[in-house]
Each structure stands twice: as structure tokens, then as C-alpha cells.
Structure 1
């Protein structure tokens, strides 16, 4: 069943959302050529994952009526004789469906969103993100082809969640609309089984990681609840209780509801607009989820994903034009973006906005191959090869370059440009972050053999 891919109507923008800045994109130095782009994109604006603060005086709606475009479905079905087999050939027919939320009392609510669902606003922002990718990498840089012909050129992957899958569909439609896709091209949207997922810290597959994260969360409760206590006199009347990391609702849930409401133009209590209030809540929640994580947590959480990324970069660096893959877009969650930045020691300690992205760009140094080979043939013995072409990795987030601390030493980055980390230095750090035996390291303590 295919979603109707008509882009939603224009929207004025959403709180916290930072569109991809095409005009302000910093073009690499002339001596570098872009080879491959890896993008990790948070899904677009969605409804909260739980009903919170719906009672007066907060009165944030329980029912969110922002899902009209997402409700229209069209599927192609094969026409067949009444008694014919299901796979028999026949003329295509169109099966039209309109999905609707049914409330507890049985009432159908046209346009209502499910909890945690991508809204029309989120569909628009991710569609516009895809359009910005096209404007940047196709039109401005000429890096991607104007028309896509094969899945060997592009890679699209999502977590197995409706909001990330639908976000990716919108990004693809913005990047390569139908009139810019070859007639026989159908994009593949890759989705992994839960046990194989690495676009977030996989506590389902890694029980040791779950134990560690629960421990960090409990420690954060003890450390940061006292910082939230002074806010009670301002916000507890909206929560029917104090605001705490382990409260009901949890502070992370309060932050989620406030951010989602602001993104859709839903009024929130004025106290939640005060910087002094929201900053304390955000800082406590960020500390609960991401701060002070050990090397073990980084290895088990984001290590598998970074290993995947580095392997694909290594392949591109080795094969060059023989590997046609140029862009990889992953539709994922806030925890992936914050997890990547935290693991690489470049996290700004702000919760990632809807449709935010972390980008890893692979560059190679430009060389005159004929001149280079000639010089080395005269200088070196026949048993020596010319030095390999150097490759560099640049990381970007929220339209900013992020120089990686482990690439700061001389020789580990492009001279005069610390944001361009050598692929060798990047790979060296990723190797440290890659579990040597993931299953063994992920086993809970009771299942481990003593050394």
C-alpha cells in the first residue's frame, strides 16, 4: 500500500526547527572533492507519545487534529476474475482508502492523529528537507545526478516506526520526485528487524546496555531532581504534582509535549515559555539520557552504527568511482542524533529538533594522477607505490561544522581546517568504539563467564 505522495500545504514553520541552509553551506576547499554523504535525520513533527497536561489549567488538547494528508491511501491491486488465483495477471485497479482514528466511544474522528504520529506539519518539513537536499547536492554542488536511475546510487533506510518511514518517503519525494526518477526506478526503503537495528542504542538486542542506561537514569534522578524542585511553584499546577525526572508525567514527557505543541502552534502555559524554566527542564532531561556516559555505553550504543558508516566510507575510498553509492539517508530518532554527537564529544546538550540531521561527508584530495604517477616513477624504485590519496571526513549538525576533538592533533586533519578529519584518524576512533564481540559484551552480567 503506497501513501499518497502529494506534498502538504505550506506551513509557516515550527518552533525549534532549523531548515537545511543551502545558501550558507560551506563549500570545501578546492583541493578536496566530495565523494559520499551519510545523513541521519530525525523524523518530522509528530504528536506527543502520551496524553499529558490535557486537564485545566494547561488544557493542551487530548486530540490532535493534524493528520489529514496522512490519512489518504491509494493501493494498486490486480484485477482478476472472481474465481481466479490471487497472483493472476489482469488490469490494474485502484483501491482507495481513508484511514480514521476511532475514539473510545466508537466515534470516528476525521483528521485526528494517533499518539506519536507524524503530522501534516511533519510531512511538510521532511518533504522540504528532501527538496533542500536536492537544491544543495544536485543543483548547487552537482554532486548527485539530476535524475536517479538505480538503487546503487542512493541508499534509504528507516527504523521500523510509521513516523520515520513516512518521513523518509517525504524526503525521497523531495530529493527525487517522480519526474526526476527513471521510469524503471523504484526506491528501496530499507528496514531492519528489531534485533538487527543500530540506528539507536538497541536495548532490545543488548541487555547489558539496558542495564547501564537504567543505572544512569537512576543516578540522574538523584542528581537532578533537586534542580527541578524550585520550578514546582510555577509548573506543578499544570501537572497535578511536582516536576521530576521520575515523576508522573516524567520531565522528559513534559518537554516532549511542550515541544510538540509549540511545533504545531498549540498554546502552552506561559511558564513553559520562560527560558529559565525550559532550560532547567531540558538540561535535566539531557543529563538523564546522554550525559556522563562511559566508553562501554558509547561502544554498545552507537558503536555498531559508526562501524557500519566507516565500513561504507572505507569501501568508497578504496573503490572510488567503481562504487556508485553517493548518498545515504537514514530516517531515525532524536536519540540517534544526540547519541552520535555525544559519542563523538560534540554534543551541544540541546534536545534535537524535529527534522534535524547529522551529516558525515567523505572527501578525497584532488590530484593530477598522471603527473603524480610520473613524479613517483622517477623518484622511487619500481617496488614502491605512490602514496595513497588522502580522504577526509567532515561532520555537520544544525548547519554547523563540528570539528572532532580526537582529530585535533597535527596530522589528523587537513592543515588549517580542523573540521576535516582524516579518514584514518576517524577510522581509528571508530575501531575503539566498535564492539569486538557484540553478543558477548551485550550479555547481562549474570550470563557472563568470569575471566
Structure 2
């Protein structure tokens, strides 16, 4: 999948169904994939694809915080140009397909198109949560009302900035207030994407599932079809573990589809059957583990889901009407985050998430529910403070049906998309590691594919 084609805003009838009058929205956490980007590595120059793309106007508008000898802190405005070794080893300015020297992108960089789509995501969130539902204030409130987080990869941070500006443009932010705080983590501690570079066991499992996919697909009729259509531009055979890898080919296809005609591959790469096969195989390679292994789910996205759950539980302790409490979280992440979460919860459509895909985690409180009236749970005498609370996920504006919430008593009566908070908490707590770093070093003596374990 490439660029997301978002649905129109909800109609009044749809809003009434999606947001029942007996439920009150309490907290929203939106996790989203970054916007359109260039390929993470230049490929297919033999097919006429330019290695450098001129779709990054931000490169001509950079600002850096610098220290002046007397004035203290100031900003240095500068323009970035790419440099590359020439044929004789000399340094030459990198140029785009039309001879462009300015606005040239880095590999994997958020492009102008990506900025547009993430801005539009923020605008859609503003329309829904401010204009239609009246849940968020018209103007940006205090820092305690929102939480901003991005991965340490630039395209995720820049996408977060664009979504935030779409939700609260400059006209709706105070010019004299404190600047918004954006949280990030070091790569070694990052859990906002499946971190196989810093989790040895997860990396080991990823390699095992990649090998399984290669064994399953490399000699298949589907791969033979790809070979017949695009094989002449590939070094050797088209394969899961080929050169480039099939996921790399898919990456270039999706990135080129999202941008201009000057950076397109030959037509064979875009044939519907070819794209369908590539998507099916790469999804199987990258995400089968979440269906099959509880350990894979724990190490891949369990820690992040645990953070989302903990933020929900903290929010219900706040008085619903108290000003300044957390109302919305925005988290800029990656495709592997989105698909990993959906697959782990049993709600994945097995299609690669398009650019700017999002999952909204919404928590609701039943109106009229007396917060001092609790049910009793085992052991007897322990009050259940979660009664009357529900969690619903929307993936690209469509409700997600979490597998573990389908049983009677684990969802809102009449609508399985609303998990009880208790059911959602139980599902996530089985998945969230107590110590992610410690678990990343366990089971290293185990090889091969873990036995099949159903998503609960």
C-alpha cells in the first residue's frame, strides 16, 4: 500500500453510531505512520529511476539553534545541498532528474507530499475532535492536556510536527506561551517501533520468520510471476532474500507511486497483480510472527501497548471535569508499529499500512455512571474501578474489532468494537513485558520458529 485515500468526514448519522450518546469520550491517543518519503535506499538506476529526488522544500528552509558570542542563543538559517562522489572520485553536487540542485531529499526523508498528508491528518483530527465532537478546546490548552512523542527518526518527528500543526495551527496557539514539549527516546530504549536493532531476541526471531518466508515463497508461482515481469531489472532472481530484497523492491514501488512522474519505475512494477503479490509476500515476511508467537508480540509492540494502557489507567483517576487533564496524545511512528499493533490485537487486514495511516485509541466513560459505585471482583472486597469504562480503536477511521473482546461481557452490549477497559487491560498486560531489555536477552539459545500461539 502507498498513499492513503482518507474517507470523508463522518456524517451526523455515522457520528451518532460511532459515538453513542450514552458514552462520554475521555482520552484519545493517536499513533500514526509518518507521511510519504523517499526510498530508504536508492535503487533501480538501471531502470531509469533517479537516485536523488527534488521533493524536499524544507531543505531550503532549515534553521539551527546556535550560540552567538555576545547575543546568546539565535538561529542560523541555511540551505542544504546534497553532495555525492563523481565518477572520478571528485565531489559533485547531487542533482534531481530534471537537473535540480535545491530541495533534494535524503534517502528515507519526509517529502513535501508527506508533509501535506500528515498536515491533513491533523486537520481531520481537528474537524472530528473539536468541530464535530467538541471534545478538545478550540485553542491549544496547557501542556498537561496533550502528549507528543516521536521516534528518533527524523521523518517521524517531522510528521508529528505537521499533525500537531494541523490540529492546532498557529492561529490557535498562544505566541507567548511555552513551546510544546515533544518527547523522544534513545534508539537503545525506543519502543515506539519494533526495535530489532536493540533487542537481540526479537532480531533473532525476525530472521527466523524471514527465512521461513523465503522458503515458502522463493520458488512459488507468485514469485515466478514477479520474475517474469520485473526480473530483468534485478540482480539475480527476484526473491524474499534477493538483491535487492523483495521488501526493498516494494519500498521503491510504494515511494514512487506516491510522488511525481519524474521518479517513476517502468510500468511492469505497477501492474495490479504484481503489486498484490509483492504486498502479500512482504506482509507475510514481516508480520506473520505477530500471529504466531506471543514472544514476538511482547518484544515487538508489547511495551508500547503497555504505555498506552498505563496512560489510560492514569487518566481515569482524574476527575472527568477537571481542567488541564490529559485529553490527547499524538505519537509519530512507522508502518511496522501500525501493522504490529493491529496483528497483535487480532485486527489486522493483512495489507501493508499506507503512508500516514493512524490508529486512534479512544477511552470512554458511561454517562450517568457513579464513580463511587463499584462492582466487586475476586478476591472479594476488591473494588472494580474500571466498571463503566470502554476502549475503542479506529484504524484509518474504521473501528477495529479486537479479537479478545468479542466474548459476551467483554464489550459494550450491542457493539463489539467497544472493549471493556477490564478486557483491554487484561489483553495488553498479557502482552506487555515487565522488563523489555531483560526479555530481549532471554531465549537466545532457542532457534527456529516458535510454536503457533493464537492471538487472544
TM-score, normalised relative to structure 2: 0.85
Q: List per-residue Cα deviations over 1:386-415 (Å, max 9, x = no partner).
A: 986511111111221111111111111111
Bigger mean CA deviation after superposition, 63-72 or 359-368 = 63-72
Gaps of 5+ in 1: 1-13, 82-87, 377-382
Q: List per-residue Cα deviations over 1:190-228 (Å, max 9, x = no partner).
A: 110112211112223321111111111111110111231
Are 1:48 and 2:39 an aligned pair? yes
Question: After the TM superposition, which residues 355-394 of structure 1 pair with which residues of structure 2 at under 5 Å, given as runs?
Answer: 355-367=356-368, 369=370, 389-394=387-392
Q: List per-residue Cα deviations over 1:258-304 (Å, max 9, x = no partner).
A: 01001003333222222221111111111110014301111111111
Is the 1:149–1:185 contact (alpha carbons within 8 Å) kept by the matching residues of 2? no
Distance 1:388 1:263 in 2: 44
TM-score, normalised relative to structure 1: 0.86
Question: After the TM superposition, which residues 44-123 of structure 1 pair with which residues of structure 2 at under 5 Å, given as runs?
Answer: 44-55=35-46, 58-75=47-64, 81=70, 95-105=76-86, 106-108=91-93, 109-123=101-115
* RMSD over equivalenced CA pairs, Å: 2.6
Question: After the TM superposition, which residues 159-170 of structure 1 pair with which residues of structure 2 at under 5 Å, given as runs?
Answer: 159-170=151-162
Report the CA distance between 1:369 and its aligned residue. Answer: 4.8
Partner of 1:253: 248
Partner of 2:130: 138
Partner of 1:276: 273
Distance 1:398 1:248 in 2: 33
Bigger mean CA deviation after superposition, 396-405 or 282-291 = 396-405
Q: List per-residue Cα deviations over 1:364-397 (Å, max 9, x = no partner).
A: 1000759x97xx9xxxxxx998986511111111
Is the 2:59–2:104 contact (alpha carbons within 8 Å) kept by the matching residues of 1? no
SS in 1 for 2:113: helix
Work out which of the residue numbers 178, 181, 194 in structure 1 matches 2:187.
194
Report the CA distance between 1:417 and its aligned residue. Answer: 0.7
Question: After the TM superposition, which residues 191-270 of structure 1 pair with which residues of structure 2 at under 5 Å, given as runs?
Answer: 191-227=184-220, 228-266=223-261, 267-270=264-267
Is the 2:63–2:75 contact (alpha carbons within 8 Å) kept by the matching residues of 1? yes
Report the CA distance between 1:349 and its aligned residue. Answer: 0.9
Report the CA distance between 1:73 and its aligned residue. Answer: 1.8
Are 1:16 and 2:7 an aligned pair? no
Are 1:336 and 2:333 an aligned pair? no
SS in 1 for 2:219: helix
Q: List per-residue Cα deviations over 1:128-186 (Å, max 9, x = no partner).
A: 11111111111111111111132111111100011111111111111112221122131
Distance 2:8 2:145 in 1: 24
Question: After the TM superposition, which residues 349-428 of structure 1 pair with which residues of structure 2 at under 5 Å, given as runs?
Answer: 349-367=350-368, 369=370, 389-428=387-426
SS in 2 for 1:16: coil
SS in 1 for 2:419: strand
Equivalences, count: 417
Change (3 A) 1:315 1:229: same
Gaps of 5+ in 2: 94-100, 376-380, 447-456
